[in-house]
Chain A
Amino acid sequence: MNWLIAILQTALFVALAPLLAGFMKFCKCRLQNRRAPSFFQPYRDLLKLTRKQPVISEDASWLFCAAPYIIFTAMVLAASVVPFIAVDLPTSAEADVIVLVGFFAFARFFLALAGLDIGTAFGGMGSSREMTISSLAEPAMLMAVFTLTMTASTTNLSGAIEHVLGEGLILRPSFVFALFALLLVAVAETGRIPVDNPTTHLELTMIHEAMILEYSGRHLALIEWASQLKFMLYGVLIANIFFPWGIAENFGLSALGYGLLVIAGKLIFLCIFLAFAETAVAKMRLFRVQEYLGFAYLLGLLGMLSHIILESTR
């Protein structure tokens, strides 16, 4: 039964990811005085792409065709680990937050390889930049995550969320630092402004888009879906770790329904916040990104130190 709920939750997560992307686009459009496409436009795009015939370069190897499936699978696995509507599901005991970061690394590894596979300059450029940014973002993310896990003394996401729930609303300075660090990392890792711009195809600035330039058809659909999943994963992670209230603690139908509503509300709030930020901030130069991520790392470190100095029971 628990497994069934876990699988259903994962399926729901995967199914809802394009909707969140659609909503994000909607918010941004409205803020920038443009007419917004329907919330369901990402679904139509994905469907359209799966019906198209994929065109593959003659220099492509099997890795190029396999990579989209691997990337998508890694993201689905990550989605199964993150508590979305309910905590304490069996899937979250399968892997903890370090494994979650590992899933992201797995997807990124193959995305970067796929970028190098065709042998064009764009792909290499994208891979090089993506690996650079992620290698700076990963320690910042783990620093923030370690602050949480040390507070909850578990690296298990369900356990950490239950710990925060059990403690009630305490304003911990370490959590504030960790929240902002994780927000900055999330923006960088999901390729949003100011680090990368998902809507541009300008060769000087693009990172994610440069790697997937050669993809078409169902392969592109999978990669697009995977990046929508990644966006939602970070959103749910931030929402549920720092503000877990409302998440279903038992598997009753009403609790689950309530949990779904609450997480929807949190994600809507996060999206609006992010849309404001993206509208207000301009994209930064590539070689400013390390300062940005260095700042994120510093915030994570401050969170850690304030946990050790201020909050620890010893």
Chain B
Amino acid sequence: MILFLAYGAILLSFASGGAAIAHSCEPKVNKQLVFWLLGASGLSAIFAGLGELIYPEIRLDTLSLGLPWIPWHVHFDSLSAFFYLIIGIAVFAVSFYAPHYTHHEQKEPQGFAVLSLFTGLFIAGMMLVLLADDAFMFMIAWELMSVASYFLVAFQHENAANRRAAFLYLLMAEVGALLIILAFGVVASFADGFTFDALRASSIPTSWMSIAFVLALMGFGMKAGLVPIHVWLPEAHPVAPSHISALMSGVMLKVALYGLIRFCFDLLPEVHWEWGVVLLIVGTISALGGILYAMMQQNLKRLLAYSSVENIGIIVMVLGLSMIFLANDHKELAALGLLAALFHAFNHALFKNLLFLGAGMIHHQTHELNIDMLGGLIKRMPKTSFIFLIGCMSISSLPLFNGFVSEWLAFQTALQVDVLDNGVLRSLIPVSAAALALTAALAAACFVKVFGLIFLGVPRSRHAEKAKEIDNKGMLAAPAMLAGLCFFFGIFPSSILHLIDNVSKQLLGSTLPQKDVLSFLTLAPVSPEQASYTAPLILIGALIAAGVSFWILHRNSETTMRIAPTWDCGFGGLTPRMQYTSSAFTMPLRRIFATAFLLDEKVEKTMRENTKLNVADVRYSLVIQDHCWVRVYQPIERGVNRVAKQVGRIQTGNIRTYLGYSLATLILLLWVVSL
């Protein structure tokens, strides 16, 4: 039954793509059918995921698809189900959001058909990845996901910059896929067959196992967006339509994480703590680098893309912790780490989806994504602003919201370091915990900037001034639903943590140290003496404290508020341009972390009448470049160009030379055959 639901979700998303084609060929077919099918697919995936998580059981199946002698092996366990749930929620939300959004973004029917077709294929591809139980099916599904999403990124291909971003995405996706194939190949060469069962049973030597791990980390990391192989993310996310960026950032990156978890924790026969350290360091760098670059962005969607790099970094970091504990035979703590990582992945899917959809709403109403051109939207778009505020609070990991719970669990995992024997680990992990604290604080600063500059203050442009609230219910309902979930799982995290615990039971053979303390109210993952967090009581306390103070202060009716113009220091003429901008807001941090960026800051002053004091005009320009581009990618690009030029020398353009090449090849082949 549950497997049927899982298949149903895939078929429905294929059908949604099919309905889009049918609509473009035959306009009688209702356009809304596309979104109905998409929503049904999401719902089906949610039920499949929940069903499996509630009744954990490994469900196997074989489909007679693919190559004749290698049927597709299907495998649906708690880990797959958990990611199914993430996809399901995101797709369900998007199916409400997309009708109005795509209607306005794209007028011509062909565009709509292309967009919806590839959306359906993309979602089906992601779900197939989760079902795969052999390397062949995995790679086919993976490629379906990558290629379909390439067409989505390249959707608005009229713009040259978009084509470039899409090509970069495709290139990195394919290089990543090659690395993943190699990783599977390394393991498979010590196993008989390509099914995951065979890979699990392989007797692979440790050194080859490490090679496979590094290949998998690079391959999956390229998709997930780990520093320094994250560069496609900030290019591709801003150019895709918003609901697609929401799916890509909220869900596709999670599928890459699924691959990493499946490969490292499940397929490889054993884990080593050194790998955990690698994950920890890579994760820390990604988290810090991601948030520092996010802070400096002016384009909202670019900023959100960098913030995804940060969150993926946090997840990988906690996975590293889990791996370290697992390799040191502390299975319960490994389960705690895995729980924290998976819950953060879940939360990130919720709030990043919400924020991308919110960015789409802002763009839809103002045609503007530059933070410095917005402002004052809280009065013009009150509902959107409230929903967006919840997203900002969740991602800044403030208490009472879901982001805080997963970060809290991550800290709790890191603080269990005392059980380890290795002194290096014992000092490394707290330092990474402090880096996590820095990341969280910087994320809060970043999202204060985002919300403050977009929604608060005075409009900085005419577009922002003329903005109106979204009048489509579905477009508001999707992010509102996600915001509700963010709040719900912030208050009652145990409701989902119970289910995630089943994943670690299946994967690691161990649950949380004390399962019974995961009560409805209190969260005490290790033991109640060590740490506890009772969100519902805090919420009640907050309501009481706020209510009492409000009541006391509002008894006196003489103190009703008076509305007055803003004080302008007596000079008169406050203008919106006097407000802090994005680059002004982040200037102190830019200066403090100057070495993290490649800064090109120029101030040009034009003087009046040749004196040095009388400034007529000031121009300020700031270009911030990613270190990775200059230090990693440009050398590679130059190297590839150089090699290509050398290879180009054999291309003489003379037919006799080519005939000579053919002859030489023929002789060589004959020699090979005769051996």
Q: Does A84 contact B (CB under 8 A)?
A: no
Chain A: minimal CB distance from B538 (Å)? 6
Q: Mark B370-393, 1 if CB is under 8 A from A, else 0.
A: 000001101100000000010001
How many Å lie between the Cα of A137 and that of B440 in the bound state? 12
Selected contact of A124 from candidates B537, B561, B579, CB within 8 Å: B579
Q: Which 7 A-B residue pairings sit nearest by Cβ, starting from the closest?
A: A124-B580, A116-B452, A119-B457, A135-B441, A131-B445, A119-B458, A138-B441
How many Å lie between the Cα of A221 and that of B549 in the bound state? 11
B448 touches A109 (CB 8 A): yes
A65-B561, A218-B553, A314-B421 known; A58+B566 contact, CB < 8 A: yes
How many Å lie between the Cα of A312 and that of B553 in the bound state? 52
A61: chain B residues at CB < 8 Å are 378-379, 455-456
A150 touches B408 (CB 8 A): no
A56 touches B563 (CB 8 A): yes
A55: chain B residues at CB < 8 Å are 561-564
B532 touches A125 (CB 8 A): no
A63 touches B456 (CB 8 A): yes
A95-B538, A116-B457, A131-B444 known; A76+B398 contact, CB < 8 A: no
Selected contact of A119 from candidates B389, B423, B576, CB within 8 Å: B576
Chain B: minimal CB distance from A151 (Å)? 9
A142: chain B residues at CB < 8 Å are 411, 433-434, 437
A117 touches B412 (CB 8 A): no
Q: Mark B445-485, 1 if CB is under 8 A from A, else 0.
A: 10011011101111000000000000000000000000000
> Which A residue's beta carbon lies closest to that of B458?
A119
Q: Which of B359-367, B584-592, B617-625, B662-670 contacts A (4 or more CB under 8 A)?
A: B584-592
Q: Which of A25-33, A66-74, A243-251 contacts B (4 or more CB under 8 A)?
A: A66-74
How many Å lie between the Cα of A153 and that of B415 in the bound state? 8
A99 touches B423 (CB 8 A): no
How many Å lie between the Cα of A109 and that of B397 in the bound state? 11
How many Å lie between the Cα of A113 and that of B451 in the bound state? 8
How many Å lie between the Cα of A124 and that of B584 in the bound state? 9
Selected contact of B378 from candidates A63, A129, A159, CB within 8 Å: A63
> Which B residue's beta carbon lies closest to that of A132?
B588
A297: chain B residues at CB < 8 Å are 434
Q: List 19 A-B contacts (CB under 8 A).
A: A54-B561, A56-B562, A58-B564, A61-B455, A61-B456, A69-B546, A93-B534, A102-B404, A105-B397, A116-B580, A124-B579, A128-B580, A139-B438, A155-B415, A156-B532, A217-B561, A308-B430, A312-B418, A312-B426
A119 touches B579 (CB 8 A): yes
Chain A: minimal CB distance from B641 (Å)? 41
How many A-B Cβ pairs are below 8 Å?
A: 266
A59 touches B457 (CB 8 A): yes
B457: chain A residues at CB < 8 Å are 59, 116-119, 124
B565: chain A residues at CB < 8 Å are 57-58
> Which A residue's beta carbon lies closest to that of B396?
A109
> Which A residue's beta carbon lies closest to that of B378?
A61
Chain A: minimal CB distance from B250 (Å)? 23
B398 touches A106 (CB 8 A): yes
Interface residue tally for chain A (C-beta within 8 Å): 86
A132 touches B445 (CB 8 A): yes
Q: Which of B96-104, B113-121, B151-159, B523-531 contacts A (4 or more CB under 8 A)?
A: B523-531
> Which A residue's beta carbon lies closest to that of B530?
A154
A54 touches B588 (CB 8 A): no
Q: Mark B527-549, 1 if CB is under 8 A from A, else 0.
A: 01111111001100110011001
Q: Does A280 contact B (CB under 8 A)?
A: no
> Which A residue's beta carbon lies closest to that of B592?
A290
Q: Does B630 contact A (CB under 8 A)?
A: no
A120 touches B434 (CB 8 A): no
Q: Does A96 contact B (CB under 8 A)?
A: yes
How many Å lie between the Cα of A127 and that of B375 in the bound state? 16
Q: Does A15 contact B (CB under 8 A)?
A: no
> Which B residue's beta carbon lies closest to that of A90?
B537
B398 touches A139 (CB 8 A): no
Q: Does A277 contact B (CB under 8 A)?
A: no
Chain A: minimal CB distance from B646 (Å)? 49
Q: Does A267 contact B (CB under 8 A)?
A: no
Q: Does A167 contact B (CB under 8 A)?
A: no
Selected contact of B591 from candidates A125, A287, A301, CB within 8 Å: A287
Q: Mark A27-67, 1 if CB is under 8 A from B, else 0.
A: 00000000000000000000000111111111101110100
Selected contact of A73 from candidates B375, B379, B546, CB within 8 Å: B546
B398 touches A109 (CB 8 A): yes
Q: Which of B397, B558, B564 has the most CB of A within 10 A?
A: B564
B399 touches A127 (CB 8 A): no
B430 touches A143 (CB 8 A): yes
A51 touches B556 (CB 8 A): yes
A113 touches B452 (CB 8 A): yes
How many Å lie between the Cα of A218 and that of B426 in the bound state? 49
A149: chain B residues at CB < 8 Å are 415
A113-B451, A128-B585, A214-B566 known; A105+B538 contact, CB < 8 A: no
